[in-house]
Amino acid sequence: MAFSPALTRLIEAFRVLPGVGAKSAQRMAFHVLQDEREGGKRLASALGAAIESVHHCRQCRMFTEQECCDICRNAQRDATRVCVVESPADVMAVEQNTDFRGQYFVLMGRLSPIDGIGPEELGLDLLRDRLVSGPVEELILAVGATVEGEATAQYVAELAHQAGAGVTRIAHGVPVGGELEYVDAGTLSQAFSGRRPL
């Protein structure tokens, strides 16, 4: 069955979201048109405004409407400790679940030569400048334990070493409440190699 051109465009627009396939996009479009027309108008307005006004912080690359984000402008944050993360969602996770009071650098991805993502796309020249000119003493790597995440961590660690900054990495391993017999080999191996004294 062919939908109207406007409905087809709406369904295709929803498909740009991660994890949204054809059926989910269709359900969302139908829901907005059937039950949430006012909500859809608010969504369209908020999305348009965000796309026009939100950009990257010039220091950490987090999303902001100002030149520098609130975290970078906060004098109470420890500028000597910088946590490197892959995405703005990672910043939110660290902020909501830890007592970390340093600053951040958001890569907006990870190195993946196959996908055409190199150091330039991750803003690593900006990070290098920050390491060389700033008061960074510890660079905390909080990137994923994927193949690309490991390559990214190694590259960023080398930048930090060249600038004379210390490098640490968040621990990876057995989750709280996890049973050893159900943990995969890679996770268990990382847990053993990252063990620490009690």
Closest of 22, 18, 17 to residue 3, by C-alpha? 22
CA contacts within 13 A on the Cβ side of 168: 9
- Written as six digits, the tokens of 25 are 């996009």
SS3 at position 105: strand
pLDDT at position 173: 77
Walk me through the domains of the chain, giving residue ranges and CATH numbers. Answer: 5-53 (1.10.8.420), 73-169 (3.40.1360.10)
Read off φ and ψ for residue 141, nearest 5 degrees: -90, 115
Cα angle, residue 79 at apex, residues 73 and 83 outer, rounded to 5°: 100
pLDDT along the chain (198 residues), means of 10: 88 94 95 95 96 96 97 96 96 93 96 91 95 92 89 94 92 76 75 68
Global pTM? 0.85
pLDDT at position 23: 96
pLDDT at position 184: 77
pLDDT at position 93: 93
Concatenated DSSP letters of 119-167: TTTTTHHHHHHHHHHS---EEEEE--SSHHHHHHHHHHHHHHHHHT-EE
Residues whose CB falls within 8 Å of the CB of residue 168, separated by 6 or more in sequence, listed in order = 138, 139, 140, 141
pLDDT at position 120: 93
Closest of 152, 91, 92 to residue 127, by C-alpha? 152
pLDDT at position 176: 76
Residues whose CB falls within 8 Å of the CB of residue 61, separated by 6 or more in sequence, listed in order = 105, 106, 107, 108, 123, 126
